[in-house]
Chain A
Amino acid sequence: MSFRTKLLALFTVTIITAVTLVGWGVSSYTRREFELFARQRSDALVAQFRREYAQRGEEVAHRVQGIADAEATVRMAIDLNRPQADVSQYYNDAHAIAQSQQLDFFDIVADDGTLISSAEWPARFGYKNDWVTAEKDWNSQGAFLSRVDMQDGVDLGVLAVRTVRVGEKHFYLIGGQRLNQDFLATLVLPESMRVVLYRNLEQGFVASELTDQHGQVAQAELFVPLITEVQSSHRELQKTIESGTGRAATSESFNALPLIGRGGDLLGVLLVGSSRQDLIQMLNFIRGLALLVAGGVILAGLVLGWWISARVTRPIEQLARGAREVTAGHWEARVEVHSRDEIGQLAEAFNEMTRQLSEQRERLVQTERVAAWRELARRLAHELKNPLFPLQLTVENLQRAREQTSEQFDEVFFESTATMRAELENLKTIVSRFSDFAKMPAPEFEPVDLNESVRSVVKLFEPQLCAVGRPPITPELYLDEGLVRPQADPVLLRRALENLVLNSLDAMPAGGTLTVRTSQYDGSVCLDVSDTGAGLTPEECARLFTPYYTSKQHGTGLGLAIVQSVVSDHGGKIAVESAPGAGATFRIELPINHPESPNYHPRSVPEDLAVTSAA
């Protein structure tokens, strides 16, 4: 990833993070404020319900008190107080009174708790209402929530009890109004709010007992967790109920208010619900707006970041380009200096560095050239000195032979000329080697059977391997018979192979094992030539392929240099692995298809394979 890309990514991440944080902050603030508002509305409705509930209770108590105070009621009580009173004649009175007083429930109960007349369950006359006789001072008490037994089940009502006292006996009047959807309908609800009443008249959750002002609530199962929690805790709770998915999704926040009876039992739960649709819509709007703004900001930030990063990285890129040119050998590479800031100073330092490097390189080249010439001269002198000395002695012998007899002179003459011719031939060979090295021919590629070349070269050196008077050297060949034929120059390849084998033989004067191995992997063929000689030091390994470098007394220092040249011309690479006392292994890797070969087919050749030769 380029520096510009990184810089652009940094800008982008920074902008996105900033936009996200701002959006989240706005959204959170809005949500909190809206929920606060919704809670206030819900609290207001709960307070309204409490007022209505209290008012309804007062109203019920007032009506029942009015009935108790009525003259007809007192007459009835007096009549019922008589011995052998006929209670049956009052069988329907509770119903009539309830109708006239708009009460849903009304019972007339005798002193012993016997039900005389009941509006809501007339057939229950004669049975006991024991709970009402347990309390005598009903007249000072207000209304209360209570379950009411009915013919077809149980109902929930706000009841008030008043007593009429005749002599020592009390007659109880129990009146009440039903707490149901009609009661909910009397509550004035703000828009998007609703009130749901759950009448906790049976064990567990009963869906039919969940009503709002319109009747039974749909999807009652959504309220089960909230109702169940209130049933167990008897505490006021708040919970959000969500339903549906997608566009049909709804969300309501409910305040659950437990409705407790006289005995402390939970008789109902009032659920004040506030729709969160407005909140959701607002949040969706904010989210959409935030996304839009964020998108715009991010886009603008990207453009700006791209411009800034381009402006910032341009001189760096120029520096990098300059560095690459220097790496490629263009020592004259320079970068423009656009500013005087750190980047500008860096550019100036780069230019100064390349200038100095260029100068140092020139000096180094000169030095190396001089050193090379000196080395060459030394080698030449060394090589030439060996045959020149015998020549000089031969010539001096020949000159001294003129003072001898002619037969002796002739004998010396013929011996001397033979020696001179041999030494001259030797000189020619030396010159020819240098000439050959200087004139290394360009390879001519063709498929080469590398295994066959190896066998041929090893066979060539067989006499030397088994030479009399010399410790034997055992050749071991591990050749991959499925080896692909690489594109190579067979003559040059054979020459390089001969040099390697010869080098190995020279490394094993005390005998040993010559191992040659061929193999193939990943588009290349490999040739390993190993000896079991004395091995090389790291320094020797480093200079091994330097022309004219040799560790042998009679070497020219050109053998491995020629090998490296051949390998390089084939686009391959050569490496040596060695340690003192552990022998040495030379490895040649050649591409199967050389780019200059007629059958070249590009493959995934490593970049450095063609140009790198490792020491």
Chain B
Amino acid sequence: MRLIAYQLHARGSKAIAPISLTARVILTAVTMLAIASGAAASTSPKFGGVLRVQISEHVATVDPRQWPSDSLRAMATERLASLIFDRMVRFDDHGLPQPMLAVSWQHDDNLKRWQFRLREGVKFSDGSPLTPETAAMALQQLLGNEFDVSAISDSVVIQADHSLPEFPSQLAAGRYFIFHTADDGSLTGTGPFRVAAWPADSASKIVFLANEMCWAGRPFVDKIELTMDADPQQQANAIEFGQAEVVELQASQVRHIAQRGVRTTSSDPVDFFALRFDMARPAVQDARIREAISAAIERASIADVVLQRQGAQAASLLPNWLSGYAFLFPSAMDLTHSKQMLTATRRDFSRSTPLVLVYDSADVELRAVAERVAVNLKEAGIAVQLSGQITGSATKLSAADMRLMRQRIDSPDIAVALPALLASFGEPSIVLETPEQEYAAERAPIDAYRIIPLVHVSESYGVGPQVRDWMPPRWGGWRLEDVWLATAPVPAPGGITP
């Protein structure tokens, strides 16, 4: 058994491990930069204030046991859950798993048994201590019966019947939060905030209060007021007119609102737009038709125009920042090749029934992309009928020839992100242990044209002028516990560009 040690320190000077020579050099440089920028700043971090946040999604519950299947809703739920709960492991800025509630972990040689040693002195927001039994119970509910989760001494031991090569990375993302069920059935966590009010009606705001007993230290802001179901224009107006400090921005809004003087931030491309075919539909069973569709789509214009340069054209499942080999997948439009493929099928597409392309009608970006895809395919001679449908409705994919999907890549670990992504597109589950396996797994559905990647899009936020230390991970998400609010008067929004 191999034991990897991790060094810990509190919020403001976070734990970084394992400490290699290279990492130490980088850490030193970052620390010096931070000190330098801190010296340059006119103000020091301050406690207090109310952070007003708006999101588009509606989150009914943050109970990790009731995790939504929809990618965007799951992402929003994860954002809110991360305010309340902590995971055993977290990702650092480089996408490497780092200690959180677990200070160290070890595994057996065949990677089937993992033991996580819990941090001491951690308490839930209701005052109850974090114990291995509590953590084991939470993980057991989340991992399911395929895993045997037990508490041993100060550790939680997870036993599986198969190899778990990237298990800490898996626990560092998704729903694997450690929670405690109170006597009244409510859930509490060890996170930086606790829920003060969660009104049933969506019009009211959810209020989070700072968790004074947080093991990593009290967050800077006293309170977070979160508004759900805010439409994109409402959020843009809110950030522009000072009615919110943090809002989500659509890709098509970012450049426009930035031109108005609003501070915007964007992650690396993490939203994956792709077409998925229903292979049971006769209209798309011929691979040449799917290849023609792939060749007819002008991805560059989708990324640059429709998504206003907030996306990158994609021919692979994973973005290049994550895989490093995305450039190997050609993404250029080839209308001639597309028409050749269509001719090869010997089908008269001008007389055949239009292909049905389904998309989530609640997602305006999906709709815009779907319309552009339809235009491209029309130019190639393929009639497409768009059908906007509500996600989660009873509509089945079988009613459509292809579906335009938007899937969030929620892990910076390719070994975790790729299987999740493939699974979300209906591909068979796989275990990836080598880069070759990862590449092959990604290549297979693309070469078979079961999945046609379109673009990878960044996650963007509009941030108010008084917000400080807004440093979200590069793969998206929040770190609201690090945010603090400047007390200086809020400057007027920038001039409106006509």
Interface residues of A, Cβ cutoff 8 Å to B: 71-72, 75, 87-89, 91-92, 121-127, 151-152
Contact A125–B498 (Cβ < 8 Å) = no
Q: Which of A75, A122, A127 contacts B368 (CB 8 A)?
A: A122
Residues of A within 8 A of B308 (CB): 88-89, 91
- In the complex, residue of chain B having the shortest beta-carbon distance to the beta carbon of A88: B305
Q: Which of B256, B309, B368, B498 contacts A123 (CB 8 A)?
A: B368
Residues of A within 8 A of B379 (CB): 127
Residues of A within 8 A of B298 (CB): 126
Cα separation A48 to B322 with both chains bound (whole Å): 66
Q: How far is the CB of A87 from chain B (nearest CB, A)?
A: 8
Q: Which segment of B370-378, B440-448, B468-476 sits at the interface?
A: B370-378
Q: How far is the CB of A43 from chain B (nearest CB, A)?
A: 43
- In the complex, residue of chain A having the shortest beta-carbon distance to the beta carbon of B253: A92
Contact B375–A72 (Cβ < 8 Å) = no
Q: Which of B255, B304, B375, B498 contacts A124 (CB 8 A)?
A: B375
Cα separation A87 to B306 with both chains bound (whole Å): 11
Cα separation A87 to B308 with both chains bound (whole Å): 10
Interface size of B as a range: 10 to 19
The verdict on B252 contacting chain A, using a C-beta distance below 8 Å, is: yes
Contact A72–B306 (Cβ < 8 Å) = no
- In the complex, residue of chain B having the shortest beta-carbon distance to the beta carbon of A116: B305
Query: What are 12 residue pairs bridging A and B, where the CB atoms are less than 8 Å apart in the complex?
Result: A87-B305, A88-B305, A88-B309, A91-B306, A91-B308, A92-B252, A122-B368, A123-B375, A126-B305, A127-B379, A151-B374, A151-B375
16 additional contacts, CB 8 Å, given A122-B306, A123-B371? A75-B498, A91-B305, A91-B306, A91-B308, A92-B252, A92-B256, A121-B375, A122-B368, A122-B371, A123-B306, A123-B372, A123-B375, A126-B301, A127-B375, A151-B374, A152-B386
Q: How far is the CB of A245 from chain B (nearest CB, A)?
A: 40
Residues of B within 8 A of A122 (CB): 306, 368, 371
Contact B375–A89 (Cβ < 8 Å) = no
Q: How far is the CB of A424 from chain B (nearest CB, A)?
A: 134
Residues of B within 8 A of A71 (CB): 498
Cα separation A89 to B498 with both chains bound (whole Å): 12
Q: How far is the CB of A122 from chain B (nearest CB, A)?
A: 7
Cα separation A394 to B474 with both chains bound (whole Å): 185
Residues of A within 8 A of B305 (CB): 87-88, 91, 125-126
Q: Which of A72, A123, A127 contacts B374 (CB 8 A)?
A: A123
Interface residues of B, Cβ cutoff 8 Å to A: 252, 255-256, 298, 301, 304-306, 308-309, 368, 371-372, 374-375, 379, 386, 498
Q: A72-B498, A91-B252, A152-B386 are in contact. Are A125 and B371 (CB under 8 A)?
A: no
The binding surface of chain B is classed by DSSP as: helix
Cα separation A151 to B388 with both chains bound (whole Å): 13
Q: How far is the CB of A117 from chain B (nearest CB, A)?
A: 9
Residues of B within 8 A of A152 (CB): 386
Residues of B within 8 A of A89 (CB): 255, 308
Q: How far is the CB of B119 from chain A (nearest CB, A)?
A: 49
Residue from the set B301, B309, B375 with the largest chain A CB neighbour count within 10 Å: B375
Cα separation A92 to B498 with both chains bound (whole Å): 12
Contact A88–B371 (Cβ < 8 Å) = no
Residues of B within 8 A of A126 (CB): 298, 301, 305
Q: How far is the CB of B298 from chain A (nearest CB, A)?
A: 7
- In the complex, residue of chain B having the shortest beta-carbon distance to the beta carbon of A125: B305
Cα separation A127 to B333 with both chains bound (whole Å): 14
Residues of B within 8 A of A121 (CB): 371, 375
- In the complex, residue of chain B having the shortest beta-carbon distance to the beta carbon of A152: B386
- In the complex, residue of chain A having the shortest beta-carbon distance to the beta carbon of B304: A88
Q: How far is the CB of B370 from chain A (nearest CB, A)?
A: 8
Cα separation A152 to B306 with both chains bound (whole Å): 18
State the 10 A-B residue pairs at the shortest beta-carbon distance, nearest first: A123-B371, A88-B305, A123-B372, A72-B498, A123-B375, A91-B305, A88-B304, A124-B375, A151-B371, A126-B301
Cα separation A519 to B374 with both chains bound (whole Å): 105
Q: How far is the CB of A101 from chain B (nearest CB, A)?
A: 14
Cα separation A92 to B232 with both chains bound (whole Å): 15
Residues of B within 8 A of A124 (CB): 375
Q: How far is the CB of A477 from chain B (nearest CB, A)?
A: 98
Cα separation A454 to B298 with both chains bound (whole Å): 126
Residues of A within 8 A of B375 (CB): 121, 123-124, 127, 151
Residues of B within 8 A of A92 (CB): 252, 256
Q: How far is the CB of A320 from chain B (nearest CB, A)?
A: 89
Q: A88-B309, A91-B308, A92-B252 are in contact. Are A151 and B386 (CB under 8 A)?
A: yes
Residues of B within 8 A of A88 (CB): 304-305, 308-309
- In the complex, residue of chain A having the shortest beta-carbon distance to the beta carbon of B497: A72
Q: How far is the CB of B194 from chain A (nearest CB, A)?
A: 41
Cα separation A151 to B376 with both chains bound (whole Å): 12
Residues of B within 8 A of A127 (CB): 375, 379
Q: How far is the CB of A86 from chain B (nearest CB, A)?
A: 8
Q: How far is the CB of A130 from chain B (nearest CB, A)?
A: 14
Residues of A within 8 A of B304 (CB): 88
Cα separation A288 to B304 with both chains bound (whole Å): 77
Cα separation A87 to B375 with both chains bound (whole Å): 18
Residue from the set A71, A92, A152 with the largest chain B CB neighbour count within 10 Å: A92
Residue from the set A87, A121, A122, A127 with the largest chain B CB neighbour count within 10 Å: A122
Contact B301–A125 (Cβ < 8 Å) = yes
Residues of B within 8 A of A125 (CB): 301, 305
Residues of B within 8 A of A72 (CB): 498
Cα separation A607 to B383 with both chains bound (whole Å): 96
- In the complex, residue of chain A having the shortest beta-carbon distance to the beta carbon of B372: A123
Q: How far is the CB of B398 from chain A (nearest CB, A)?
A: 23
Q: How far is the CB of B140 from chain A (nearest CB, A)?
A: 48
Cα separation A156 to B372 with both chains bound (whole Å): 22
- In the complex, residue of chain B having the shortest beta-carbon distance to the beta carbon of A70: B498
Q: How far is the CB of B338 from chain A (nearest CB, A)?
A: 16
Q: How far is the CB of A118 from chain B (nearest CB, A)?
A: 10
Q: How far is the CB of A300 from chain B (nearest CB, A)?
A: 74
- In the complex, residue of chain B having the shortest beta-carbon distance to the beta carbon of A92: B252
Cα separation A151 to B386 with both chains bound (whole Å): 9
Cα separation A521 to B46 with both chains bound (whole Å): 141
Cα separation A172 to B236 with both chains bound (whole Å): 30
Q: How far is the CB of B59 from chain A (nearest CB, A)?
A: 29
- In the complex, residue of chain A having the shortest beta-carbon distance to the beta carbon of B384: A151
Q: How far is the CB of A597 from chain B (nearest CB, A)?
A: 98
Cα separation A124 to B256 with both chains bound (whole Å): 20
Q: How far is the CB of A113 from chain B (nearest CB, A)?
A: 15
Q: How far is the CB of A151 from chain B (nearest CB, A)?
A: 6
Cα separation A121 to B378 with both chains bound (whole Å): 13
Cα separation A272 to B374 with both chains bound (whole Å): 38
Residues of B within 8 A of A91 (CB): 252, 305-306, 308
- In the complex, residue of chain A having the shortest beta-carbon distance to the beta carbon of B259: A89
Residue from the set A87, A89, A122, A123 with the largest chain B CB neighbour count within 10 Å: A123
Cα separation A152 to B298 with both chains bound (whole Å): 20
Q: How far is the CB of A71 from chain B (nearest CB, A)?
A: 8
Q: How far is the CB of B324 from chain A (nearest CB, A)?
A: 27
Cα separation A257 to B255 with both chains bound (whole Å): 49
Residue from the set B298, B374, B498 with the largest chain A CB neighbour count within 10 Å: B498
Cα separation A121 to B298 with both chains bound (whole Å): 17
Residues of A within 8 A of B386 (CB): 151-152
Q: How far is the CB of A110 from chain B (nearest CB, A)?
A: 13
Cα separation A124 to B386 with both chains bound (whole Å): 15
Q: How far is the CB of B249 from chain A (nearest CB, A)?
A: 14
Residues of A within 8 A of B372 (CB): 123
Cα separation A72 to B252 with both chains bound (whole Å): 20
Q: How far is the CB of A172 from chain B (nearest CB, A)?
A: 19
Cα separation A127 to B255 with both chains bound (whole Å): 23
- In the complex, residue of chain A having the shortest beta-carbon distance to the beta carbon of B301: A126
Residues of A within 8 A of B256 (CB): 92
Cα separation A121 to B304 with both chains bound (whole Å): 17
- In the complex, residue of chain B having the shortest beta-carbon distance to the beta carbon of A151: B371
Q: How far is the CB of B128 from chain A (nearest CB, A)?
A: 52
